Amino acid sequence: MGGFKSRIFLFILACLLGTPAFTAGRGDEQYTDIKILYVPGVADPFYESMEQGARTRALETGVSLTVAPYPGSWDPEVQIPILEKAASDGTYDLIMISPVDRDALIAPLEALYKQGIQIITVDTEIGDGNYTDQSQWSFPLSHIGTDNFAGAVSLAEHIAEKAGEKGKVYINTTTPLTSTTEERKLGFIEGISHFPELDVVRVDYNGDLQEVARQQTLNALIEHPDLVAVFATNVFSSQGVSAAVKDTGLSGAVKIAAWDSTRPLVKSLRNGEIDLVLAQKPGEIGALAVEWAYKYFIEEKKVPESITSGYIILDKSNINDPDMEQYIY
């Protein structure tokens, strides 16, 4: 019997005995006794912002939210023990997790699902991300995240315009088994293909290590001194790429499209060292995961298999608009 269902049974039993099983909050607040475990992908501002969004919505809905330790690196061998230890330390109704590997996380998550714990993936996915069709990875309730492919297509079209729609383009990304960054890579390639005189000449995988991204970008600049644009697919890729282009004195000459609006990257955008930054809405992703958990357990609503959060593209024309502050993490 799953955690929430077992506590429903205890609630009914307690009512028969005259002892309330659920704790009421102050005023009109009601504590639902739903317990959620959040397992982030890695220690970075994106996942910290997601946690804040989840915490805010948990307070609003009376849901109990526990946050697992943040992994120090993007590695299934790091994340899986954290997941299994955190899940064993409490009785949870649902786990919201950003799987760091589309294949390696299937088995451990399925094992927890078979124990009666529901799963929502946030930001990254398992398998091919299709939870509708019956498959080895179709057990999660839902995936909640950015439309990575569409966002990358849009970034490509914007950076093509800034680069004069002609020349060589370089992509720096994380690992082939990270669903989000692969979607971004493919979306960017698709967007660049709309411009016949632009050519993606190299793609490097940095393992989500900023210093590796910096060195790879330096090598790409040496191999292709006529690069006109670079696309970096996440926080550490973007910060490594930006450092390399700045170190070689090519800021402004080599256009940079960066993914994730951390404060260091936004500072680089304001300084003219980066040309475009795609800001996801991690707080919205976290809030949606908690909100749909509440709707599923309390309101008995069917959860959509895929829920898309928004994004916005920042550049010099809008970055100093006070309304954009909410998109910086």
Helix axes 282-297, 45-61, angle to 10 degrees: 30
Q: Mean per-residue pLDDT for 224-237?
A: 97
User: What angle is formed at CA 131 by the lines to CA 127 and CA 135, rounded to 5 degrees?
Assistant: 65
Q: How confident is the model at residue 3 (pLDDT cuts 50, 70, 90)?
A: low
DSSP 147-214: -HHHHHHHHHHHHHHHTTT-EEEEEEES-TT-HHHHHHHHHHHHHHTTSTTEEEEEEEE-TT-HHHHH
Q: Return residue ranges of the chain for CATH 3.40.50.2300.
A: 3-146+281-310, 148-260
Of 62, 32, 34, nearest to 120 by C-alpha is 34
Task: Give per-residue pLDDT as tens, 93-147.
Answer: 999 999 999 999 999 999 999 999 999 999 999 999 999 999 999 999 999 999 9
- Confirm if 182 and 215 have CB atoms less than 8 A apart: no
pLDDT digits (tens, 9 = 90+) for 12-40: 333 443 433 333 232 344 567 899 999 99
Given 3.90.79.10, 3.40.50.2300, 3.20.20.140, 3.40.50.1820, which CATH number is that of 3-146+281-310? 3.40.50.2300
CATH number for 148-260 (one of 3.30.410.10, 3.40.50.2300, 3.90.226.10, 3.90.180.10): it is 3.40.50.2300
- pTM score, two decimals? 0.85
pLDDT at 2 over 60: no
Residue 218 pLDDT > 80, yes or no?
yes
- Category of 328 on φ-ψ map: left (φ > 0), alpha (ψ -120 to 50) or beta: beta
For the chain, the average pLDDT equals 91
In the chain, % helix, strand, coil (3-state, to 5) comes to: 45, 20, 35
Taking phi first (over 0 means left), then psi (-120 to 50 degrees means alpha), and beta for anything else, what does residue 80 get?
A: alpha
Return the pLDDT at 32.
Answer: 75
